Structure 1
Amino acid sequence: MSIDQNAEVSEAEQLADLFNQLGAGHLTERMGITVTSASREEITGTMPVAGNTQVYGLLHGGASVVLAETLGSLMGAIHAGADKQVVGVDINATHHRSATEGLVTGTCRVLTAGRTLVVSEIVITDEAGRRCCTSRITCMIKR
């Protein structure tokens, strides 16, 4: 691994730590969401199934959307810059399979990033790597 790759990993971890600190005391903390890595290209985060289920013991679809919106909004913020605000204006989710235990992992990647909008796709998988949910979010950059 080159020095540049080490610096990139370090920067991704530092950005993830910053996002986790900012989430303290907010919904992300109550849901157990932890950002594990963050860069302009990809953000990953985890969320426990336990505590985020519906009455049948399955991961609540709304919890998946909270994870997706968290990661997508963070991606929007990275692309907007520190002096701008980002607000979600549209989100959708397709639930492919249920999760009943362990952690789910969300991986957010930018589809398009412009001057006023950032559109991202978030894929949520279970611990076996099976896709549970696919979400797309559009964030508006407020100047």
Structure 2
Amino acid sequence: VIAYGLSSHAVKFKKTFRLIYFLPTLTSSAALTLIFMFIFNVAGPLNNFFMSIGFYNKPINFLQNPAYSLKVIMVMNIWSTVPTYMTIYLASLVDLPESFYEAAEMDGATSWDKLRYITVPYLRPITTYVLLTVMIGTFQMFDQAFIFSNGSG
């Protein structure tokens, strides 16, 4: 969805947004884990922010409570990997021939029809690749969870 939105011509500052959005991918997983440990620490900025606005009175231990730590690890991995896959989809969308859309417009296709019958089928091989690499990546997450839990797993 993000790649499709960035591939349209109506978005201003596309290149800047692509650069900012891709930055988390450039950091190492260990550095990213340490950054998230700082943010979600008991005395970290997230707890301080929520306590200052009165969302809760006592800080939450996001790092040691299994109910929160798994969710924090999931957010961290989604935030760091989505830009990579967005870039892959964006490269594929840029490669999609404009003549397909022009022919569909001549046949009276709506925007929804073009998305459903041209864009999505064109992206099927890319989607297969992304799903396979995401599955492989989930098996390679041990180091982040190990660092996040201070070696306790």
Q: Same fold (TM over 0.5)?
A: no
Greater C-alpha radius of gyration: 2
- Which one scores higher on RCO, CA 8 angstroms, separation ≥ 6? 2
User: Which has the larger share of strand?
Assistant: 1
